[in-house]
Amino acid sequence: MEKRQLGSSDVKMSPILMGTWQAGKRWWVGIEDADSIKAIRAAVEAGMTTIDTAEVYGEGHSERIVAEAVADIREQVEYATKVFANHLKYDQVIDACENSLKNLQTDYIDLYQIHWPSGSFNTEIVPIGETMAALNHLKEQGKIRAIGVSNFSRSQLEEAMQYGRIDSLQPPYSLFWRQVEKDAMPYCVEHNISILAYSPMAQGLLTGKFTLGQIFPEGDNRNGNKLFQGENFVRAVAAVEKLRPLAQKYNCTLGQLALAWLIAQPQTQAIAGARYAEQAISNAQATKVTLSLEDIQAIDTIGRTVTDHFDDNPVMWNW
């Protein structure tokens, strides 16, 4: 799997990253640590050498599971983690990074990201300049190699760039959720900022495994996902059926088709989570699917039967 340069940094990352929100267990149901460890290890062995996590995923549990899975091959992997919106004051950023370094059993983080903008989830408003000053200091110390942001709008990204180099934006982005294309993507392309798309398979919806009438257990975050609600869900299930012939044409799964389409978009890499090793291996194989321009457009058209019905709110959940 040929790695891609992260923005203008000297960090290189796999086109598909291993996502580990689920490894933190919180907001997920039926996750076992042993399965998460096997999945992360399998992802790396299949070429997904970049692992995305966050301090807030199970209050550090995800980071610790990542370390348990791959700390012995640290030089072969890239760590991307995040500082949460309640830790954006200067000293809090420094402390949060130290905690993540400890959890990950490493002395440097390849990509350190602001998880949500200041003020999200009723957190205290902190000037972006203060947060960026801490991140720049960590970068100068060599504790982080590159700075990224997550869930930022174009205007928020532009403001952050006034205080230092941002090499990546991590937005929700999939064939079924595309607000970033209208907002921040043109700016990212112009300024060579990598887009690391999370929920690239729409939390499993694009794998075709869900049917109308699907019931999710209490505690599953998909219960609050707009894509799984009402007419949105009906349209999405219908669109998945239209994608099946294209997946058959390329002899790939629906999930691989969705990932292949996404990493063919400008500046875009995909963060794909997996509960089990076989899922991680399957995700990695999406890099072998080379879509024709005609089929990229056909997939685009099918996706718009879902996305054209949403407003410009970039948040996928009814939080």
**CA 120 to CA 3: how far, in whole Å?**
32
| Helix, strand counts (H, E) of the chain | 11, 10
Q: Specify the pLDDT at position 187.
A: 98
Question: Could you give phi then psi for residue 13, rounded to 5 degrees?
Answer: -130, 155
Residue 109 β-bridge partners: 144
**CA 14 to CA 3: how far, in whole Å?**
5
In terms of pTM, does the model score above 0.85?
A: yes
User: Is 57 one of the annotated active-site residues of the chain?
Assistant: yes
Domains of the chain with CATH codes: 4-207+254-290 (3.20.20.100)
Q: C-alpha 6: how far from its chain's center? A: 14
Q: Tell the burial category of 12 from Cβ atoms under 10 Å away from its Cβ (0-12, 13-18, 19+).
A: middle
> Six-digit token pair at 189?
């392309």
Query: Of these residues, 57, 79, 112, 173, which one is catalytic?
Result: 57
Q: Specify the pLDDT at position 263.
A: 98
Which of these, 289, 290, 218, 208, lies nearest to 28 by C-alpha position? Answer: 218
Tell me which amino acid residue 304 is: R
> Six-digit token pair at 33?
């640590």
Q: Specify the pLDDT at position 319.
A: 67
CB 290 within 8 A of CB 260: yes
Q: Specify the pLDDT at position 295.
A: 98
CB 43 within 8 A of CB 284: yes
> Six-digit token pair at 218?
């209490």
Q: Specify the pLDDT at position 199.
A: 94
CB 247 within 8 A of CB 255: no
- E strand map for 201-288: 268-273
> Six-digit token pair at 305?
């039967």
List the pLDDT tens digit at each of the 319 positions of the chain: 899 999 999 999 999 999 999 999 887 878 899 999 999 999 999 999 999 999 999 999 999 999 999 999 999 999 999 999 999 999 999 999 999 999 999 999 999 999 999 999 999 999 999 999 999 999 999 999 999 999 999 999 999 999 999 999 999 999 999 999 999 999 999 999 999 999 999 989 999 999 888 888 888 888 888 999 899 999 999 999 999 999 999 999 999 999 999 999 999 999 999 999 999 999 999 999 999 999 999 999 999 999 999 988 888 888 6
Tell me which amino acid residue 161 is: M
